[in-house]
Structure 1
Amino acid sequence: MPVAEQGHVSAAQEDGGRSSLDMGSLLLSAYELGDWINQSAEVADYLYWKSVVEANEEVKELQAQFAKAKELFEECQRFGRFHPNYHEAKDKVKLIEKQLAAVECVSKFKAAEQAVDDMLYEVSRLIAESVSDMIKVPGNERNLGGCGSGGSCGCGSGGCG
């Protein structure tokens, strides 16, 4: 991986000691790193499984069912657990989540998505630590909730395709 030239300091310093040439070199290296990440096996695997999930008719049907079940649950949730259909609606959402997770391409997609996330976290951590041990890097805690807990999937909330 190319590293910005160390010790290169131009005569004209700007912005608190950084020259525009140093910033340009840094940005160029960042774009190159991004290109390498995009060409990685992890990203290729992620994109492959994403396309498989998007083309899978069973997943599309389950996503439609999930969207309806989630809408019903959200309506019940407005009134809290005392709504007569609250538990039934919640159980329906969980059942469809399990059905989605059981589809092979969805589980492979989730694993590929996690691998990319882990790689990006490691890159961020290494960059931060190369600057200083005091730099904070956002945590990389695994999403244990699946659908309904926030994520990037097509159903709008949990990495299920």
Structure 2
Amino acid sequence: MQTVVSTPIELLDASEELSKMIRSSDIYHHYVEARRNMLEDEEAKRLIEAFNHHKVKFDEVQRFGKYHPDYSEVTKTLRIAKREMDLHESVSTYKRAERDLEKLLTEVSEVLATSVSPNIKVPSNNPYFDNSSCSGGCGSGGSCSC
């Protein structure tokens, strides 16, 4: 049954109801559990902290690019720290749950946008796998047909 919303307050109430539905979904509960597990995992904390430490060093070296004497070593160390962090079970589980929740939110946004107008594009932050967003935007030769 389709609900007709005629006032801004009714629209806000309906959006609050949609938000409650999302927060009661299995996808959201899995995300919350995965996040809690990652934040409570001491090894994950250590790996995230190490990655952040190496990222700060990389940002300092990045200003000079490949001309910095430590560029190759710092870049390599950062990649290794990121790989170790990403491969840790609680971190990878969290990242998968985060992507699943983001996908759900993107799909809901697309349904809302296209129900208003088929010309509205919803960015998904993933230009390689998003079939319905305006990849590149107007003036960049993107696929938004403007």
Q: TM-score range by the shorter chain?
A: 0.7 to 0.9
Of 111, 115, 118, the residue aligned with 1:126 is 111
Corresponding residue number in structure 1 for 2:55: 70
Of 26, 36, 45, the residue aligned with 1:51 is 36
Counterpart amino acid of 1:5? V
Q: What is the rounded CA distance, in whole Å, between the counterparts of 1:135 and 1:64 in structure 2?
A: 40
Secondary structure of residue in 2 paired with 1:139? coil
Question: Is 1:106 aligned to residue 105 of structure 2?
Answer: no
Normalising by structure 2, we get a TM-score of 0.81
Q: Is the 8 A contact 2:38 2:91 kept in 1?
A: yes
Task: Provide structure 2 residue ranges, at least 5 long, that are not aligned to the other structure.
Answer: 129-146
Q: What is the rounded CA distance, in whole Å, between the counterparts of 1:125 and 1:59 in structure 2?
A: 34
Of 19, 22, 25, the residue aligned with 1:34 is 19
Corresponding residue number in structure 2 for 1:5: 4
Q: How do 1:79-90 residues align onto structure 2 when only pairs under 5 Å count? A: 79-90=64-75
Give 1:139 deviation, angstroms.
3.1
Question: Is 1:93 aligned to residue 78 of structure 2?
Answer: yes
Per-residue CA deviations over 1:102-147 (Å, capped at 9, x if unaligned) read 111111111100000000000000011111111121134179xxxx
Give 1:4 deviation, angstroms.
3.3
Q: What is the rounded CA distance, in whole Å, between the counterparts of 1:64 and 1:115 in structure 2?
A: 25
Q: What is the rounded CA distance, in whole Å, between the counterparts of 1:39 and 1:140 in structure 2?
A: 24
Q: Which structure: greater helix fraction?
A: 2
Secondary structure of residue in 1 paired with 2:7? helix
Normalising by structure 1, we get a TM-score of 0.74
Name which of structure 1's ranges 82-91 and 66-75 shifts more when overlaid on structure 2.
66-75
Task: Provide structure 1 residue ranges, at least 5 long, that are not aligned to the other structure.
Answer: 7-20, 144-161
